[in-house]
Amino acid sequence: MTLNSTFGIGVSGLLAQSTKIGSISDNIANVNTVGYKGFTTDFLALVQNASTQVSDYYYGARSTVRQNNTQQGEISGSDRATDVAINGNGFFIVTPNTVAGSDLMYTRAGTFSPDKDGNLRNSAGFYLQGWPLDSTGALPAALQGGNHGIDTAISSLQLVNVATTDSTSVPTGNITVKANLDADQTLYNPTGQIAFTANPTAGDTVTINGVTWTFVAAGATGTQVNIGTNLDFTLRNLVDSLNVSTNPAITPGTYSNYNGHTLKVVYDSMNGNAATFTLASSSVNGTPTQLLIYDPAVSASNMTSGAIQSHFNRSVDIVDNNGLKHSVNMNFLKTAVNTWAVELSAIPATDVTIAGGQIASGTLTFNGEGSLASISPSLSAPITFPWTSTGTTPANATTPTTNNTVTFNWGTAGQIFGTPGATVIGRTDGMRQLAANYIVDSLNQDGHAAGTLQKVEISDDGIVKAYYNNGVSQSIYVIPLAKFNNPDGLQNISGTAYLNSDDAGIINYFSSGQSGVGVILSSSLENSNVELASQLTDIIIAQRAYQSNTKTVSTADDMLKTVTDMLR
């Protein structure tokens, strides 16, 4: 080793330490840069000749700088819904501009926000790329099933643009009902009455189901009734006689004196035929009202008209093709054990072209333990709603209104659990009949009116969602993450972004949390992975090393000067 080589050794040390100081300075300068990945400087010993002779060695040092792309930075919360961070492996896929076919780049800096055109761009100016989703939230067909290559994954990328047009209206096509009907509800029984305005006089009569009862002053026998001191007492006498009557045509009825002026009969629907039961009066003071027998097809005897009060009802909105809402009432009436009549009717009745407004009727039956047993075909098949406005174009609309065809999902109907040979078991996943209060768990329909975009968010699973003022949300993109065999081998460029390189190895794109890539965290940012305290310590050490190498050079210079002086 010569004296001149000592200069080279010292200079190589100075250069190596300068590189280290430079990388530390860069790390410190970016300690608060989102997504920044720090650098580490390594040193290599230089050898001139590889032999066993010590004199052949040329000592010195060389520095190399490597990236710490695999080291996770601390994640902090953000109040912006489009800020995202990656917890784990992977990179966001970005482009330097909005031109199709631009070079793909990769970054961990998730400070994305819409630009003037609605494109998501981070603070370094790189544009986010994603896979578009259709109206049902499904990926492009080429990406479905997960059996695709990197070329397909890349060609399916699109610029993530959230300046979507207002959501268009979607007509209701399905309604799902999940509710409980009270098993303890008493059955509907037809009621009739004879209302009196004055106490009957001797000779007045009432005819009940063909049997005539005559009012007498005293000494009533058979089908006679004593007149009391007032109407109340007279009706008490009549009720007592009727309730002990042995006439088979009368025994199905339960009679009562209502408020002292009305004879009321409640017909037990479990006994006899209410349709043949009649009330009549020859008294000028008695006005009969016949038993109201339930018949969904007769307006005067159904729930739609209001003639019979339902035991339970709920309304649901149906949205037509122009986004206008139509209210429909669902009426329920318990007509027999485990049997409920159902009527669907428009509110108001004039909203449909059907007289009276009733759109459909049928029955639901239940098994003894409360599960759904059967559904009338008239209720399970698609039901057409013939709107009165069909064929007309509403204000601010461009197309005429059309009828809705809606399928109601009442739940799974079948036999009771444990029935031998049963092919379908009834469930309580929709309508059920339990001994509990009436309650609607959910009543969902799939239509909605047009809406205006209100906000955009990126969810924790990397889904870009648009929210509209009509309450509808739409998934519009999924953000894939790029995975490399050697992330530290990526080519660093300005803006905390990287280009792919041969040193990075094989690249693949995956959705958040899949196949070894990290999880996307919404409203979060990944901070620089630089640890400031260690950097400050390292720069002091590098400074000392640099000063020591200057001493090597100055010492060699002094030695060379001494040799030179010997020749004078």
pLDDT beyond 80 at 13: no
Structure tokens at 81: 């819904």
Angle at 51 between CA 47 and CA 52, to 5 degrees: 115
* Tokens describing residue 279: 């009330």
Tokens found for residue 45 = 């010993």
Q: What is the DSSP letter of 302?
A: S
Lowest-confidence range among 49-63, 341-355, 446-460, 526-540?
A: 49-63
Using one digit for the tens of pLDDT, what is the confidence trace for 301-356?
999 999 999 999 999 999 999 999 999 999 999 999 999 999 999 999 999 999 99
**% of residues, the chain, pLDDT over 90:** 56
**Looking at residue 56, what is its pLDDT?**
46
Choice among 32-36, 159-163, 465-469 with the minimum mean pLDDT: 32-36
Q: How far apart are alpha carbons 414 and 507 in whole angstroms?
A: 52
Q: What is the pLDDT of residue 379?
A: 98
Which single residue is written with the structure tokens 């958040």? 512
Average pLDDT, the chain: 87
Higher pLDDT, 434 or 422: 434
Look at residue 238 and tell me whether its pLDDT is greater than 50.
yes
Average pLDDT of the residues in 375-392 = 97
| Positive/negative CA dihedral, 285, 290, 292, 296 | negative
Q: Does the pLDDT value for residue 448 go beyond 60?
A: yes
Question: Model confidence over 78-89: pLDDT tens digits?
Answer: 999 999 999 999
Q: What is the mean pLDDT of residues 522-530?
A: 87
- Mean pLDDT computed over 55-77: 74
> Average pLDDT for residues 273-281, to the nearest whole number?
78
**Which pLDDT does position 461 carry in this prediction?**
87
Q: Are 15 and 561 in contact (CB under 8 A)?
A: no
Q: Which two tokens stand for residue 338?
A: 């485990």
Q: What is the mean pLDDT of residues 271-287?
A: 78
So what's the pLDDT on residue 48?
60
The partner residues of 483 in beta bridges, in order of sequence, read: 508
Highest mean pLDDT among 160-174, 420-434, 551-565: 420-434
Least-confidence region, from 192-206, 210-224, 241-255: 241-255
For position 74, what pLDDT does the model report? 87
For 137-193, what is each residue's pLDDT tens digit? 888 888 877 667 899 999 999 999 998 767 788 999 999 999 999 999 999 988 889
pLDDT of residue 4: 62
Kindly indicate the confidence band of residue 1, based on its pLDDT and cuts at 50, 70 and 90. Answer: low
User: What pLDDT is attached to residue 348?
Assistant: 97
Distance CA 422, CA 413 (A): 12
For 86-144, the pLDDT digits (tens) are 999 999 999 999 998 899 999 999 999 999 999 999 999 999 999 999 888 888 888 87
Q: How many Å apart are CA 297 and CA 360, to the nearest integer?
A: 10
Q: Under a CB-based contact definition with an 8 Å cutoff, are residues 195 and 287 in contact?
A: yes
Q: Calculate mean pLDDT across residues 537-548.
A: 76
Query: How many whole angstroms separate alpha carbon 207 and alpha carbon 560?
Result: 143
287: pLDDT strictly greater than 80: yes
Question: What is the end-to-end Cα distance of the chain in Å, rounded?
Answer: 25
- 42-59: average pLDDT: 58
Which pLDDT score is estimated for 63? 66
Whole-number pLDDT of residue 175: 98
Q: Which residue has the higher pLDDT, 557 or 430?
A: 430
